[in-house]
Amino acid sequence: MDYTNEPVCIKDIEKIAQRVMPGGAWGYYNSGANDEQTKTDNESAFDSYRLHPRMLRDVSKITTHTTVLGQKVRTPLGIAPCALHKLAHADGEAATSRAAAKHGSIMILSTYSTTSLEKVIAQGDGTTQYWMQLYVYQDRHVSETIVRRAEKAGFKAIVLTVDAPMLGRRLVDARNKFNPPPHLRLENFMNPNVVNGTGYAPDLAKSENETFGATFGANGDQSLSWANGISWLKSITKLPIIVKGVLTAEDTQLAIDHKCAGVIVSNHGGRQLDGALSTIDALPQVVEAANDKIEVYMDGGIRKGSDIFKALALGARAVFVARPVLWGLAYKGEQGAFIALDLLQKELELAMMLTGTTQVSEIDESYVYTPVNRWVRHSRRQPGQPRKLLAKL
């Protein structure tokens, strides 16, 4: 369907995507866990933070160039991992990859990609950073195979998702009885010599272990822990390890103790534990615990350039978005995904100009008013003793 008016913000793209996507696919992308409190909070919590702009500064030259894992990137805005891009557009993750290369930052590819990791990185321009998202399965050989393929293909980091020992209860998917279309394949679980061959077509993949039903049945390792997971991953790859799903100071310290390269403050887009803090609210305690010993990134709820600015001001080195890119993909394929990224990029540059900052390194907490003491956390009550205040947020 054609639209005469081009979208001017992410909310516009979201509305278009909802109109053009099948109901089940839209529900899969848009749903959160249970009552969707955390998913809703991810967006609305940004509104509790206000900006503190400075005037009469030379803002004639704005740059968003920064470094991530010691590598230069054009912008701190990257693409978060999300499964099944071909639900949004037939070109799937290949189109997203081309948009990422044009945009100039980082793309994190989901394990549950409908395009093989080799095909995805081949769409890059040689300068784009690609990171590989990973789940660890009971049969760790499955995960190890993906890690080794990613390292061989040129991915620059492994992003270990740690907030999904079991999938959250997503009521929209349950009501829709959503199942991905049978013609789609999770190509990262297939023989790379087959899936990357010139004669490959999705409908040629007939074996049971190349279908969604079998792959989603590959049980996650619920015994995975800091002690047995990070050391194992370090034993099979030299790539930096980034832990995705951290929301607390305690887990940030454990990531430092286990010599991880970074943490992504994330609640899985509100799709796992409903009632957890929004990511922008969790970010300050993670940054404080990191104490510049580990890089901190964030995803969840970012819909405007000012959201990116606020996250950077509170200490995130980079931020990642998923749903806006998927909506762009549904709207107009590669071009739509780039439009979504470019809208956010231009809004970030405008926010920088209007706050009197000209480069990412200048953005700090002095530019943000933060809400005070909305939540407190206490220690476990001991008989005959008062509770100890552990944290104010």
Note the pLDDT tens digit of each residue in 42-98.
Answer: 999 999 999 999 999 999 999 999 999 999 999 999 999 999 999 999 999 999 999
For the stretch 185-224, pLDDT in tens is 899 998 887 778 665 555 544 444 444 444 444 478 899 9
On the CB side of 267, how many CA atoms lie within 13 Å of its CA? 29
User: Is residue 245 predicted with pLDDT exceeding 80?
Assistant: yes
Distance of alpha carbon 109 from the chain centroid: 9
Specify the pLDDT at position 387: 67
Name beta bridge partners: 377.
391
User: Is residue 369 predicted with pLDDT exceeding 70?
Assistant: yes
| CB neighbourhood size of 115 (10 A) | 24
What's the sign of the alpha-carbon dihedral 337, 93, 179, 165? Answer: negative
**Active site members:** 268
Specify the pLDDT at position 289: 96
Report whether 336 contacts 13 (CB < 8 A): yes
For the stretch 172-185, pLDDT in tens is 888 888 888 888 88
For 86, the token pair is 């071909």
Report whether 273 contacts 163 (CB < 8 A): yes
CA distance 316 to 80: 14
| CA proximity to 126, closest of 195, 71, 193 | 71
For the stretch 258-284, pLDDT in tens is 999 999 999 999 899 999 999 999 999
Specify the pLDDT at position 95: 97
For 253, the token pair is 């310290």
Percent of the chain with pLDDT over 70: 90
Report whether 89 contacts 95 (CB < 8 A): yes
3-state secondary structure labels for all residues of 70-98: CEEECCCEEECCCCCHHHCCCCHHHHHHH
Specify the pLDDT at position 182: 83
The structure tokens 């930052």 sit at 105
The string over 59-82, giving b where at least 16 C-beta atoms fall within 10 Å of a residue's C-beta and e elsewhere, is: beeeebebebbeeebebbbbbbbb
pLDDT band per the 50, 70, 90 thresholds, residue 371: confident
Report whether 329 contacts 349 (CB < 8 A): no
Instruction: Please classify residue 238 by burial: count the beta carbons closer than 10 Å to its beta carbon, then call 0-12 exposed, 13-18 middle and 19+ buried.
Output: exposed
For the stretch 127-168, pLDDT in tens is 899 999 999 998 899 999 999 999 999 999 999 999 998 888
Q: How high does pLDDT run on average in the chain? A: 90
Type and span of the H or E element at 244: strand 241-246
Report whether 93 contacts 114 (CB < 8 A): yes
Q: What is the DSSP letter of 2?
A: -
Model pTM score? 0.92
Q: What angle do CA 57, 61, 65 make, to 5 degrees?
A: 115
Specify the pLDDT at position 198: 60
| CA proximity to 309, closest of 43, 51, 72, 78 | 51
What's the sign of the alpha-carbon dihedral 223, 225, 231, 237? Answer: positive
